Amino acid sequence: MNMTVTIPFRPEFKDALLEGRKTKTARTKKYGERGDQFEAFGAPFVILKVEKIRLSDIASKFFAEEGVESPEAYQKKWVVVSMSELKNKGKRNYERRHPLER
> How confident is the model over 15-29, as pLDDT tens digits?
999 999 999 998 888
Q: Is 34 within the bounds of a domain?
A: yes
- Here the CATH number for the domain that contains residue 39 is 3.10.400.10
Q: Is 73 within the bounds of a domain?
A: yes
> How confident is the model over 37-95, as pLDDT tens digits?
999 999 999 999 999 988 889 999 999 999 999 999 999 888 887 777 666 654 444 44
Q: Is 4 within the bounds of a domain?
A: no
Q: Is 6 within the bounds of a domain?
A: no
Our count of domains for the chain comes to 1
Q: Is 1 within the bounds of a domain?
A: no
In whole angstroms, what is the distance from residue 3 CA to residue 18 CA? 21
In this prediction, residue 94 carries a pLDDT of 44
Q: Is 2 within the bounds of a domain?
A: no
CA distances from 72 to 26, 49, 84 (A): 16, 25, 18
In which domain, by residue range, is 47 found?
Answer: 11-101
